[in-house]
Structures are given as structure tokens and as C-alpha cells.
Amino acid sequence: MSSLILDQYNYAVVIILMMTGLYVVFASRNLIKKLVGLSVFQTSVFLLYITIGKVSGGQPPIVESHGTDHVNSETTLFASIGELESVVQSSSGVLYSNPLPHVLILTAIVVGVATLAIGLSLVVRVREVYGTIEEDKIEEYDRIYYKEIIERQ
Amino acid sequence: MSSMSLFPQWIFEQGPAFLIVLPLLMGAVTAILPNRSMAWWVTFFVTLICTYTAFGLFQHIYFDGFLLYTMGGWAPPHGISLIVDGLSAPILLLISVMAMLTVIYALPSSISEIEPKKRAPFYAAFLICFAGLMGMVITGDAFNVFVFLEVSSISTYVLVAMGAARDRRSLAAAYNYLIMGSIGATFFVIGLGFLFMETGTLNMAEMSAILSELNGGTRVSKVGYGFIIVGLGLKIAMFPLHTWLPRAYAYAPTKITIFLASTATKAAIYLLLRFTFTVFDPSFDYIAVMLKYLIMGAAIVGMVLASFQAIFQSDVRRVLAYSSVAQVGYILLGIGIATSSGLAAGYLHLLNHAIIKGCLFISVGAFWYRFGITRVSDFSGLFKTMPLTMGAFTLGGLSLVGVPFTAGFVSKVKLILAAAEQEMWWAVLVIVFSSVLAIVYIGRIIIVAYFGSPPKINGSTFIKNEAPFMMLFPMWVLGLMSIAIGVNAFGIGDGFVSASEIAASVLLGGRG
């Protein structure tokens, strides 16, 4: 059992981060703390993807030019992915890690940053309007505020 | 190819990419336009051109079969492909038509809802949200789905928060939606990660081929499906995950409510269909179990409980929001039955519900535009003060209940027949019971509007204060549309039914 965890400690880290983040989102009533939890939760997914991209014993996936027929100059343009693959396979004997998850995670990081930016700017607006960033107080203020409006009509 | 002469050839060659690229690009342009009314014109023309393109592609599907567009000429499975088939084409058309009608409605309503200097950014965010929804539906690459899902969601959070000029509670609603929506999208991307582990590809067609070769795959793909369904469930507002929806719908600017109610959840349901039936297969035992117990269970509970909640709301927009959760239950019930008639009924109800809810929310928006209030008691005597608006609301309301000769009746009958075919009599009972609840919550509003007395000035006269034409037009288009489906005028009803049957056949047997 312990060897299983040691062998796959990366997954353990992912799970711990994921659960921590999710717990913070649901347990805290402070708007900023919730966003922090959300960020931790999203970061754990980045780690998950990067973990699955690693091939044990794999090299960084960079095709070096060996002066072969396939790679003529530094600015080689591959006509198709198929041709690229044949080049990769031709430099045989070398095992590469999978580069795709890293690319995906670059996109996901951008998405995460955008979400966080929108979230924080919403919190700024909430602070301007309500003067607090505690959810309980916001709900209480709203209850009082809209009760008065209805009574006035 | 005779009917194709209406459309230039490039639509069939470049149309699929055009549908995403045009709104995305114009969104960026709109954001920096100095002239405010110019922003509206740009948005209107973009949605108009997209509707035209989507209609061209829709026609193409029925004459020449499905379209596969390879981005940049890179062939799948390595390149990113866009797919227009019998399943995605009707949804694309639905989203672009609803976007166009929403933009028409938005011109007068912006005057009272959005500050002048924020109008150009508002339309920019709207266009980006529209591009994201189109991208979600058209793409054939699973990771692309996540990206477009986030593009549309992030712009939706901004749009919902813009209701703050009218009602400050929209800020908290937008924040809440952001947290729930991000958790949903992250769950979805975790699920994709597991699927990628199992199959090593992100192309949906390739994933599907590998999964069926592995006969459903190992525990990894089961866990992946679990994450995907929870993530999409949050976006769909599947019953226990719907808590963000009523607040977001009630406090957003009225035009955003219209657009969200009729497109955003529908695009997410499309993704649920795509993943459950195309990427995975209902013949895998774990999918069958999920469909039978999780989706159908959530559907049944949602149909009853959300309808009850709708009855006890005092704000009309919240009544309609809870009713949306209940109606999602009908669609999910059809999906859960998973026979070709069940899927067709669910798909038809998806299209019909978008039209009905669009009509209802536009009427409520027009009422808000004139009087600035939307409580049920405020509807008193509305039939005398705003007869045309209330007429459209009545058409939509009857259709929501499922009165004969309306769209809601057609899809509910099909759903009941599909359930009866499988001898699920309890499901038939729940459908009827939930419709009775719909009579109560819609009837409550209509009775107040028809028999209540309008607010009087000087104790004798009341003001007749009809909504402007730009609002009446989209609401009557949708209201008459729902009647046209119900009585099958000009073959529109048959067209909808056959579109849903083709979609069901695509889901159950390869590409149609």
C-alpha cells in the first residue's frame, strides 16, 4: 500500500490539492478566500495533465536536426502531421514524452487567469456597493434593503 | 443541389469556421467602437449573417449529409475538426436565431438597463458569448469544447454582473455563477483528462472508435464519464446542481436572461448528448446505468420539486427560472429513456422550450421596461395596460403548460408516448403531474393579469402603455412560432419533428 503511494506520489499530490481547493470554496464565506480555493482547485488539474504527459524514461519532445533527408534546414515546414511523425519515428530509439498535455494546460492556465481576473473584479464591485466581502453580511444587507423598498411602494 | 442557389458556395466550404470567427473578431472590434448605436448595428448584422450561414448549413445537412471542416487543412485526428451534422445543425440555427431576436429586443431595453458608456463593451461581451456557444456546438475536438465553454461562460459572468445598474443583487448572483460555473468547467476538464489517459486522443470520433474497441474501457474512462456528467450537469442546471440558475436569471439584464434561458443550457445539453451517445455509447453497461438511474432520477425529481418551488416564488422571473429547471427535467427524461423515440422527444422539447422560454422572458422584460417591477402581484390588470405583451405571454404560458395546438403539447405527447412505449407508467404520471403544477404557476400569473384591476390614476382611468415595436416583434415571432409548431402551419411542425428524429438517428447510429 505504501509503495503504491510512493510510486504514484504525483497523483496523491493532485488529489490533496484538489480536495483542499474544493473544500475551501465550499467552506469559506469570504469572497476572496473562495477564489483562492478555486485557483488551488484549478491548479491541481494542471498538475494532473502534466503528470499524464510524462512517459517514463522519455526525453523532451524536441526533434533535433541530424542532417537527414527529412530535416534540411532550421526552418523546416512540415507539410502534414504525418510527415512530422515520420521524422519523429526516423530518429528511432529515442522515447519522447507527450507534449500535448503541456499545450492544453497552457490554454487552461489562460482560462484560469481570466476567471480569476473576472472574479476579483466582481469582488471589487461588491466591496464598492456593499462595503463588505463577507457573504453572510451581503445577504443580510440585501434582505434589509429590499424589504424597505417593498414596504415603501 | 437545386435549393442551394439561395446560398453562395463559400458557405458550405468555409461556413463552419466562419460561424465562430466572425462573432469573435467582431466582438473585439465592437469593444473599441466609439459610437454606441454603431455597436448595436454591428452586433445585429453579425447575428443576421450568422443566422443566414447557419440556415445554409442546416439546409445542406438535409440534402447532402454532414459536413466535416478541417481547421487549417490539418486532417483529423491530429488537426481540429468542426462537425455540422443532424445533431448540431438545428442547435446552431437555434442559437443564432435567438441571438438575433435578443439583439432586436436589446435596442430599446439597453436604454433603461445599461449605462451609455458600457453599451459597446456590453455588445462585445454578448458577441463573444455567442461565439463561445457556437464553438461548443460545432467543434469535433473535446478540448476545444472546454475552451469554448469557458469563452462563453466567462463572458456570461460579465453580462450577468451588468445587471448591477438595475439591481445590485446581480453582483452576488454573477459571483455565485462564476464559482459554480468554474467548478463545473474544471470537473469537465478533469473528465477529459481521464478520457485522454484512456484513449490518447482528443478528437471525438477517434475517442469513440477507441472506446468501442476497448468495449467501454477501464475504470479510468468510467471515472472520466462521471466527472464529465457532473461538470456538464452544473452547466445544464440538472436538478441538484441548479442553485446558481434562479438568481442569475432573476437579476441579470432582461436580454441576457432571454439569451441564457434559450441557448446556454441548451448548448450544454447538446454536449451531454454528444458525449453520452457519440463519444461514449449507451451500450456500455456503465453508461446505461448512468442514464437509467442518474439522469432519469435527476430529471424526475427536478420536474416535480422545481415546479413546486416555482409555485411559491413571488417574482415572475424567478417563477420562470424554476420552471426552466423543471423543463430541463423533461428533456433529460427523454434522454434517459434513450430509445430513438425518447431521444427525439427530448430533442424536440429542447428546441420548443427554447422558443417558449424566449417568448415568456421577452414579455416579462417588456413589462419590466414599462413599469420597472416584476412581482406576480404587479401583473394585476396587465391585460388591460399591455394587451399585446400579455397576449404573447399567454401564448408562451399555454405552450409551457402543454395545451393542445401549442409546441409544448407536441413535445410532451411525444415524450409520454416514448415513456409508454417502454412501459414506464410512473414517468407518464410524473409528466402529467408536473404539467398540472405548471398550470398552477402560469395560471396564477395569467389570472392576476386578466382579472385583476390595473393601477388607476385619479381613481378612474388606467394607462394603456404598450411595449415598443422592437420588443413586440421578437416576442410575437416566438409566440406565433410555438403555435405554428402546434398546429403544423406551413409544415413548420413537421419540420421540427423530422429534425428531432434525424438528430435521434445520428445519436443512435453513427453520422446521419
pLDDT given for residue B125 in this prediction: 92
Partners of residue B67 on adjacent β-strands: B84
CB pairs under 8 A between A and B: 82
Distance of CA B320 to the CA centre of its chain: 14
Q: What's chain A's average pLDDT?
A: 79
Query: Which of B172, B185, B202 lies at the smallest CB-CB distance from A126?
Result: B172
Mean pLDDT of A115-132: 92
Query: Which of A48, A81, A104 lies at the smallest CB-CB distance from B190?
Result: A48
> Which residue in the block uniquely carries the three cell numbers 477507441?
B210
- Residue ranges per domain, chain B? 301-512
The grid coordinates listed for B344 are 427525439
Partners of B183 on chain A (C-beta within 8 Å) are 22, 25, 38, 41
Task: Tell me the helices (H) and strands (E) count for chain B, helix number first.
Answer: 21, 2
pLDDT given for residue B354 in this prediction: 93
Residues in chain B: 512
3-state DSSP helix/strand/coil % of chain A, to nearest 5? 70, 5, 25
ipTM, two decimals, is 0.86
CB of B189 less than 8 A from some CB of A: yes
Q: Which residue of A has its CA nearest to B142?
A: A104
Q: Between B252 and A68, whose confidence is greater?
A: B252
- Dump pLDDT digits (tens) for A93-117: 677 778 888 888 999 999 999 999 9
Residues in chain A: 153
Does the beta-carbon distance from A122 to B174 stay under 8 Å?
Answer: yes
Distance (Å, whole) CA B422 – CA B335: 13
CB of B202 less than 8 A from some CB of A: yes
- What backbone phi and psi angles, to 5 degrees, belong to B83? -120, 125
Q: Which residue of A has its CA nearest to B178?
A: A119
pLDDT given for residue B510 in this prediction: 54
> Is it the case that residue A75 has pLDDT exceeding 70?
no
Torsion sign over Cα B20, B23, B27, B29: positive
Which whole-number Å values give the CA distances from B174 to A22, A121, B109, B341, B369, in the listed order? 19, 11, 20, 38, 22
Q: 3-state SS string over B224-271? A: HHHHHHHHHHHHHCCHHHCCHHHHHHHHCCHHHHHHHHHHHHHHHHHH
pLDDT given for residue B448 in this prediction: 85
Partners of A153 on chain B (C-beta within 8 Å) are 373
> Is it the case that residue A44 has pLDDT exceeding 90?
yes
Query: Which of A25, A115, A142 lies at the smallest CB-CB distance from B169?
Result: A142
Partners of B75 on chain A (C-beta within 8 Å) are 80-81
pLDDT given for residue A65 in this prediction: 59
Which whole-number Å values give the CA distances from B406 to A81, B266, B349, B411, B444, in the listed order? 52, 20, 12, 9, 20
Distance (Å, whole) CA A115 – CA B182: 8
Partners of residue B315 on adjacent β-strands: B375
Query: Which of B79, B193, B373 lies at the smallest CB-CB distance from A49?
Result: B193
In tens digits, chain B (512 residues) has pLDDT values of 445 567 788 778 888 888 999 999 999 898 888 767 888 899 999 999 999 999 988 888 887 778 888 888 787 777 888 888 888 999 999 999 999 999 999 888 877 777 777 888 889 999 999 999 999 999 989 999 999 999 999 999 999 998 888 888 889 899 999 999 999 999 999 999 999 888 888 888 888 888 888 887 788 888 999 999 999 999 998 888 888 899 889 888 888 999 999 999 999 999 999 999 888 888 888 888 888 888 898 999 999 999 999 998 888 888 999 999 999 999 999 998 888 888 999 999 999 999 999 999 999 988 888 877 778 777 777 777 888 888 899 999 999 988 888 888 989 999 999 998 888 888 899 999 999 999 999 988 888 888 877 776 556 666 777 788 888 899 999 999 888 888 888 888 888 888 888 888 888 875 43
CB B175 within 8 A of CB A123: yes
Mean pLDDT of A60-64: 73
Does the beta-carbon distance from A52 to B197 stay under 8 Å?
Answer: yes
Does the beta-carbon distance from A122 to B175 stay under 8 Å?
Answer: yes
pLDDT given for residue B212 in this prediction: 86
CATH number of the structural domain A2-56+96-152: 1.10.287.3510
pLDDT given for residue A123 in this prediction: 94
pLDDT given for residue B447 in this prediction: 87
pLDDT given for residue B293 in this prediction: 87
Does the beta-carbon distance from A129 to B190 stay under 8 Å?
Answer: no
* Nearest-neighbour CA in chain A from B113: distance (Å): 17
